[in-house]
Amino acid sequence: MTRQLVVFPLLAAAIALGAGACWHRALAEDPTPVAAIRKVPVDQTLRDFMRKKLDASNQILEGLALDDTDLIEKGAGTLAELSEAEQWRVSKDALYRQFSMEFTRNAEKLKEAAKDKNIDRAALRWMDATMSCIECHRFVRNELVVKAGTAPRP
């Protein structure tokens, strides 16, 4: 019994160290370094458009923090409107379009939850919208921008 008490923590530590080493190595081999992505020029019109999306996102977060469903609904409505704008469509890639449609659906569901005054559902829908944003931005950075060598243009 005492031997198990000694062996188990040692085995767990060895596994954790091995996993950490693998993770560190995977990060070191990342083919798309952040520095290379940051050097890509971005169109100012697109930058301004993205700022509007961020401002609407901040409204939603503030509304969630304050239980203000009107503010959430306003921010979600802005995001839904922006997602229909021509500037939103930075690529004709099928996967990009799928990410975009998913985000629009999530923004509409968020707006509906806020309209229904359901703060818990709104919080869950905001998480869905945020994850679709992150996944799409990762795709654009890693697939579209890096492979093309330039930032997407509206």
Evaluate if residue 125 carries a pLDDT over 90. yes
The mean pLDDT value for 83-105 works out to 85
Which contiguous run of DSSP H or E holds residue 59? helix 44-66
Which of 73, 53, 54, 52 minimizes the C-alpha distance to 122? 73
* Cα angle value 138/139/143 (rounded, 5°): 120
The mean pLDDT value for 93-120 works out to 94
CATH class of the structural domain 34-148: mainly alpha
Q: What are the Cα distances from residue 19, in Å, to 15, 27, 31, 81?
A: 6, 12, 20, 44
pLDDT in tens, 18-74: 655 555 565 555 555 444 445 555 678 878 888 999 999 999 999 999 999 999 999
Identify which has the larger pLDDT, 122 or 3: 122
Q: What are the Cα distances from residue 84, in Å, to 22, 35, 77, 131, 137?
A: 42, 31, 11, 19, 17
Q: What is the pTM of this model?
A: 0.65
How far apart are the C-alpha atoms of 59 and 87, rounded to whole Å?
A: 21
